[in-house]
Amino acid sequence: MSLLLETICVRAGKFEHLAYHKARMLKTAGCLPTENLDLWLENAFATQTTALPTALMKCRLLYTAQSIEAVEFHAYMPQPPQTLQIVEAPDLAYSAKYADRTAIEALKAQRRQADDILITQGGFITDTSYCNVAFFDGVAWFTPEKPLLEGTARSRLLEAGKLQTAPLRTTDLPTFVCMRVFNAMLPFEEASDMAINRVYGW
């Protein structure tokens, strides 16, 4: 079975929005790989990070339905992309967050001079290589109706009413004022607005 991956933000020693990560793991694997996941993660954090700065860290959890295979903690410095290259990938499927990102990295190699890619399928916008996206029309924020991966931050923002879903095409880009990229490590509320003309290839 392919290894699954969950990336969790740890800020000042606290796991952020863990309920959403647990819900996705349960949905993806059919069960949680360990009971009392909260306590298990806290113990792992305490034993692995004694010599590391803990202001902002990424927890990288590799698992299957049967067990947690590995957990890693890394100091994290946000580096959001400033430019995106549109890449069409009609056959790419990534509904679960797998550790093997070979197909996505192959697409990312097509980014040309841009920092990252904006993936489309049949002209419909999905995600970047590692973030969900949202577009602002001057009144409200919209996120693609059918992303490749339904991120935990996306789920939380939709539940809070901060985002709306819509089927977004590349031809819709001129109707928006700006966009943001976001994920569990790059909070939407802290993300910088990106000008639409920083998206190349439409």
pLDDT at 182 over 70: yes
Position 51 scores a pLDDT of 74
Would you place residue 50 in the very low, low, confident or very high pLDDT band (cuts 50, 70, 90)?
confident
List the CATH number of the domain containing 165.
3.20.10.10
Q: Using the 8-state DSSP alphabet, how is residue 98 labeled? A: B
Q: List the one residue out of 48, 46, 61 whose CA is nearest residue 8.
A: 61
Task: Find the distance separating the first CA and the last CA of the chain, reported in whole Å.
Answer: 38
Same domain, 98 and 147: yes
List the CATH number of the domain containing 23.
3.30.470.10
Same domain, 100 and 196: yes
Contact 186, 131 (CB under 8 A): yes
pTM of this structure: 0.92
Query: HSE-up of 78 (CA within 13 Å, CB side)?
Result: 18
Same domain, 195 and 147: yes
If you search the block for the tokens 């996705």, which residue do you land on?
A: 24
Helix (H) or strand (E) segment spanning residue 28: helix 18-29
Would you place residue 95 in the very low, low, confident or very high pLDDT band (cuts 50, 70, 90)?
confident
Same domain, 98 and 170: yes
Same domain, 69 and 100: no
Same domain, 56 and 146: no
Same domain, 123 and 30: no
Q: Structural domain of residue 45, as residue ranges?
A: 4-75
Instruction: Give the span between the Cα atoms of 92 and 101, in whole angstroms.
Output: 11
pLDDT at 1 over 70: no
Same domain, 66 and 119: no
Instruction: Give the span between the Cα atoms of 139 and 179, in whole angstroms.
Output: 13
Same domain, 66 and 103: no
